[in-house]
Amino acid sequence: MARAEWWGSAKWFSYKRTTIIVCSINIFVALYVLHSYTSAYMYTRSDTHRAFRYTPDQVRKMEESNRIRKQLEPLQLIEVIKGLKEDFFIDEKVVHVPHQIKQMIADEILATLKGVNARDNAPVQQDAVQSWRQKKLKEARELVNRKTSNSTIALEEASVLAQALGVDWAELSEEIGLWIPVAIINEEHHDKPVGEDEFDNEIIAGKWLPPECKVEFHTDYGGDAVRWGLTHPKESAFECCMACLNQAKHAGPNDKRCNIWVYCPSEMGCYSPDIYQHKHQECWLKYAENPTMTFKDRYSESYRNAHPNAPSVVPWMSGVVSV
């Protein structure tokens, strides 16, 4: 008899029934918790709507405040400022300079630099370019203001040209690849202690290029890479030239000796006939038995059609040195 009772109670508390009971309890608890959170959220939301409801008197005061603020706006002063912006060619939007105008500016600058006959004199080149720019800017502004009728500039291009040569000159210079090195004047101070050695052969960043570098502006030479420029940046063209001379001096008997250095001075990067994106301060050391130019002064029209982001003027600096 006792055995039968035990068996019946064991059958009632089977694993299946126990699992069902536990799951039912969990579901009940979960529904209770969810109901509590939902009730609290609905209560908070209704409170929020009640808290930000404005009275008719508050709405009337806000509308009155907005009306007074608009009446006190200095409309006459705003109109005067707009007129001054138009008079001085100040435009908040960036003016798009058409390709033909950029090409014309690049051609005239190159002709100006060739005419001054000062290849190695950066200050003279800068003065020549600035003189050309001021003359062209004055001509464009006079044409816009109808103060002249005898001009080589088309009337529809005068406003864009005045903007480009005025406040947008720095940006335009980068776009056409114009770069003229800044001459650095090093004053010698005779305060060195007696017996101190001279360091005339020390490489100084930014130092004016010596004659042995044979620098050529807006020029790119081809050749076999002695040192890969993508991983060989230099702070200045002087350091790049010195790196070429030092490599040639210490090269082994079976190594190619650098006789060409090519440097990218433009912050916007440089362009060559390869698949790489050339960045600012790249320094290429090359060797060629018969050095030949890849680009000189300007990129060809066919190259610019294939590389639309390339400037008109070649930004590279190069030099063929004797080894």
pLDDT level of residue 295 (50, 70, 90 thresholds): very high
Q: How far apart are CA 245 and CA 240, in angstroms?
A: 9
Neighbouring CB atoms inside 10 A of 49's CB total 8
Q: How far apart are CA 90 and CA 276, in angstroms?
A: 38
Its sign, for the CA torsion 162, 127, 309, 235, is negative
pLDDT, position 205: 40
Domain locations in the chain?
56-90, 92-176, 211-320
| pLDDT above 60: residue 184 | no
pLDDT level of residue 119 (50, 70, 90 thresholds): low
Q: Hey, what are 230's tokens?
A: 């993508």
Q: What is the pLDDT of residues 96-116, one digit of tens each?
A: 778 788 888 888 888 887 777
* Average pLDDT value for residue range 5-33: 69
* CB-CB contact of 116 with 123 (8 Å): no
pLDDT level of residue 16 (50, 70, 90 thresholds): confident
Strands 293-296 vs 317-320: parallel, antiparallel or unpaired: unpaired
Angle (CA) 297-270-134 rounded to 5° is 55
Q: Measure Cα distances from 202 to 3, 112, 197, 199, 239 in Å.
A: 107, 36, 12, 5, 10
Q: How far apart are CA 247 and CA 238, in angstroms?
A: 14
pLDDT, position 176: 75
Q: How far apart are CA 227 and CA 124, in angstroms?
A: 33
Helix (H) or strand (E) holding 68: helix 56-71
* Average pLDDT value for residue range 36-59: 60
Q: Superfamily assignment of 211-320 in CATH? A: Hepatocyte Growth Factor (3.50.4.10)
DSSP class of residue 290? S
pLDDT, position 52: 54
Q: What is the pLDDT of residues 185-238, one digit of tens each?
A: 445 544 444 444 443 333 334 567 888 899 999 999 999 999 999 999 999 999
pLDDT, position 2: 46
Residue of 134, 195, 142, 209 lying closest to 166 (CA atoms):
134
Strands 317-320 vs 215-217: parallel, antiparallel or unpaired: antiparallel
| pLDDT above 70: residue 94 | no
Amino acid at 250: H
Q: Hey, what are 179's tokens?
A: 């770069």
